[in-house]
Each structure stands twice: as C-alpha cells, then as structure tokens.
C-alpha cells in the first residue's frame, strides 16, 4: 500500500502543481466571473441613440396607431427609469414620397437612407394587411442592416398585431377594449408540491424556475463529462510516455504492475475530484450568495461525487489498460475513440433525461453502466428525484462495473506495459484479460 500511495502522490503532484492545470482550472472561472463583472461595468453603457423607423403604410390606417403606441413606449420603463434613460427611443416617421406604389424603387431609396445613416430601418405595410382573409399585398416587411438589434422589429410586430386586431373588431361591430378586457388573463406561475412534515406542519410550495431546473442537472452532467475527459487523457499520456522511455521497466523492478496501475488510477481520480470540487464549491457559494440554495435538491452534491468517483475509476482504468498496449500516442487514438464515445452518448442523451426523468427510457438508461453515471445524476438533480432504491441500485451497478473494469484493465496492464512491437487488436486485448500467468 505504501508503494501505491507513493506512486499516487508523485503522479498527483506532477499534474496539479503545473501551470497548465491551474490555467485549465481557473480559466473558466475567470471567464465566467469576468462576464458578470463586465456586465456590471457596462450595464449603463447601452447604446441610447434614437432608432428612426420609416413606415411606408399602404393601408394608411396603421401608422397613426404606431406613433401613439411609440409615444407611450418612450415614456415606459423600457426607456425611462427614475427619470434616467436606460433604453433607446424609437422615432416613427411616415413615408411621404412618390414611390409608395413602386416597391423596387422604394426599397432602393430607403435602403440608401439606412446606409447613409439617415434612418435606422424601414418597414413596408401591404395594402391588404388589414383584410381578414388577406390578399396579394398583405405582408409586414422590416428592413435593416442591424440584424442583431431585435427590440425594434419585435415591438413593431407586437404593436401592429394589436392595431390590426382592434381594427378588425371595430369593423365587425365589436368593442375591442371590452373584448381585450374579457380575454385578458395573468400568466401561469409554476410551483413545486406542498409537503407535510412529521409534526403535521404544511410546507408552502416554492415557485419553480424552469431555466434553473434545466441548467442545474445539465451543468452537473457536463461537469462529470469534463472531469472524466480531463483526467483520463492524463493517465493515457503518462502510461505511454513511461513505456516509450522505458521508465516503466525501471518502476516494475521495485513494484508490481497492479501497484503501478493502482497508484496512477488513484492520482487520476484525485485530480478529477480536485477539479470538480472547485466548481461544485463555486456553484454552492454562488447559489448561497444569491439565496437560491433550493435550486439544488438536498443530497445532490453527495451523490454527484459518488457517481463521479465510479465514472473516473471505470474510464480511468480502461484508458490506462488499453494505453499500456500502445507503442505511441498515435496508436492510442484507435483505442481512445470508442471509449470516449461511451462518455459522449449519455451526455448527449441527458437532454432527453432532463425532460422526462421518470420515463421508461430515462429509468432504463440510469440502470445501465456506464451510461447510468450521467443519466442517474441527471435524474437526481431534477426534483423530486428518483426513488432511493433506484439510486442505490444504480450506484451498486456502477461500483460493480468499475471494479470489473479495474480488474480487466489490470490484467491488460500487466502484459501490455512490457510488450513491444506490434500494437494488439481489441480481440487480443480481450485474450490478455483471461490469459493465465
């Protein structure tokens, strides 16, 4: 055991105490933190220039409503807050040129005005736009060379729809305001379930956040994927490098192949746990700071590290085992592809699992190693979570799978680490597993 820990300690320090590891660990945190800082710094740096919109209205009945609605908008919270301008004003101008009926020339004239900076955008409203059954000229078309600015076209679309609806109601003899009053309603509010504790006290349902309900499980699955993806190549490169430089032969003169593999595996798992612990701690502190601890179900972090541990044991030992049979890094790519695919598939299927965590597909996937590592973690992070017996069953199956892979990899490692010459095939690797001493 002393030799195993000595190998693990050496391998761990060689990875963790390097600049590249610190960069890979801190770079995403710096980027995400920088985004929040920059957002706070430039929050009041919004482009407040007026957006001039020319409206070519062939119905001659919509522009007046647009101007009235825009005057109300320019005094709303979208533009003014506490007497301070926080958003750009819209300026509606009516096209009064002679080309209203000549679409092609009209487009050229107004497009030139946009390019010259005289106006921001222009809109063309067809003559049949108000007709209930439509017509040959019933379109609302918006033209601009600023496709990423969506406030103006979104406002234009919403406002013209309201104007058209009101016009059609009046034409049909109905009071548009009364109809709007009768059909108006509040939006839906989403809550969790009410609960009763052991003392009979009722716990009020908490309001749900659909975005958080998706991001938390998906983020944890991505963290498992990144942690494993970051750890396993280190094992692969370490084994191949020592084999190519004949360092492994020197090491095996003082310890067994299993001790060498176990030490490397412990080091790799420790690196992955260190990496993920930093991000889990950052997530927990962020949720505590914003008072959103309820977004992560109780016990999620505990299960996260258990399933992450089984995943790194299984994939880490598998990478170490097959890499011991390779002669160089190029050979290892043939073996790494199928193993990486086993990690990518459950990560991609996590979207299906998040949407229906208690469905037959998600339940089945969460009980099939190694897919269950990410699938079960997804189900745990989505309230109310799976039954406890399914969690323990999945964990037991993953532990059994991990120990099976560690055993098989150690059998491959004991032969492959000293082998030279032709790189074996998958069939030969399987034969090594069952080959007697």
Higher pLDDT, 12 or 112: 112
Examine residue 330 and state whether it is found in any structural domain, yes or no.
yes
Q: Does the pLDDT at position 43 exceed 60?
A: no
> Do 237 and 164 fall into the same domain?
no
Examine residue 421 and state whether it is found in any structural domain, yes or no.
yes
Q: Does the pLDDT at position 77 exceed 80?
A: no
Q: How many domains does the chain have?
A: 2
Examine residue 184 and state whether it is found in any structural domain, yes or no.
no
Predicted TM-score (pTM) of the model is 0.71
Domain around 129: 51-175
Distance CA 105, CA 124 (A): 13
> Do 282 and 429 fall into the same domain?
yes
Q: Does the pLDDT at position 156 exceed 70?
A: yes
> Do 283 and 347 fall into the same domain?
yes
Give the domain CATH number at 129: 3.40.190.10
Residue in this structure with the two tokens 């009020």, named with its chain if needed: 204
Average pLDDT over residues 148-165: 91
Examine residue 311 and state whether it is found in any structural domain, yes or no.
yes
> Do 300 and 156 fall into the same domain?
no
Q: Does the pLDDT at position 39 exceed 70?
A: no
> Do 285 and 398 fall into the same domain?
yes
> Do 65 and 151 fall into the same domain?
yes
> Do 171 and 220 fall into the same domain?
no
Examine residue 156 and state whether it is found in any structural domain, yes or no.
yes
Examine residue 391 and state whether it is found in any structural domain, yes or no.
yes
Examine residue 110 and state whether it is found in any structural domain, yes or no.
yes
Examine residue 264 and state whether it is found in any structural domain, yes or no.
yes
pLDDT at 35: 65
Average pLDDT over residues 43-49: 70
């Amino acid at each position: 055991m002393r030799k195993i820990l000595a190998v693990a300690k050496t391998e761990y320090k060689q990875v963790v105490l390097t600049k590249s590891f610190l960069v890979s660990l801190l770079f995403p945190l710096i980027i995400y933190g920088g985004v929040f800082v920059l957002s706070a710094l430039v929050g009041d740096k919004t482009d407040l220039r007026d957006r001039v919109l020319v409206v070519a209205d062939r119905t001659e009945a919509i522009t007046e409503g647009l101007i009235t609605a825009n005057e109300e908008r320019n005094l709303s919270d979208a533009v003014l807050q506490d007497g301070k301008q926080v958003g750009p004003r819209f300026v509606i101008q009516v096209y009064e040129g002679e080309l209203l009926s000549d679409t092609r020339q009209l487009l050229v004239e107004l497009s030139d005005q946009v390019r010259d900076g005289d106006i921001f955008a222009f809109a063309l409203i067809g003559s049949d736009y108000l007709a209930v059954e439509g017509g040959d000229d019933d379109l609302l078309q918006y033209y601009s060379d600023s496709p990423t600015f969506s406030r103006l076209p979104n406002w234009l679309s919403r406002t013209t729809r309201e104007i058209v609806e009101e016009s059609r109601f009046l034409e049909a003899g109905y009071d548009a305001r009364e109809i709007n009053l009768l059909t108006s309603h509040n939006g839906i509010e989403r809550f969790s379930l009410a609960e009763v504790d052991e003392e009979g006290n009722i716990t009020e349902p908490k309001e749900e956040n659909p975005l958080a309900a998706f991001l938390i499980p998906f983020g944890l699955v991505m963290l498992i994927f990144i942690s494993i993806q970051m750890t396993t190549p280190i094992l692969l490169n370490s084994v191949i490098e020592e084999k190519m430089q004949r360092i492994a032969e020197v090491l095996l003169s003082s310890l067994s192949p299993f001790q060498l593999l176990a030490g490397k595996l412990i080091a790799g798992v420790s690196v992955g746990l260190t990496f993920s612990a930093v991000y889990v701690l950052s997530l927990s502190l962020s949720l505590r700071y914003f008072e959103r601890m309820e977004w992560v179900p109780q016990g999620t972090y505990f299960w996260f590290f258990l399933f992450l541990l089984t995943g790194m044991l299984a994939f880490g030992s598998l990478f170490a085992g097959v890499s011991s049979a390779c002669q160089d890094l190029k050979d290892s790519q043939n073996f790494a592809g199928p193993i990486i695919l086993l990690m990518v598939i459950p990560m991609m299927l996590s979207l299906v699992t998040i949407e229906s965590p208690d469905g037959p597909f998600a339940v089945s996937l969460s009980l099939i190693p190694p897919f269950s590592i990410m699938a079960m973690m997804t189900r745990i992070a989505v309230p109310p979570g799976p039954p406890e017996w399914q969690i323990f069953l999945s964990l037991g199956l993953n532990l059994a799978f991990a120990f099976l892979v560690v055993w098989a990899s150690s059998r491959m490692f004991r032969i492959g680490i000293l082998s030279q010459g032709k790189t074996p095939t998958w069939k030969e690797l399987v034969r090594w597993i069952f080959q007697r001493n």
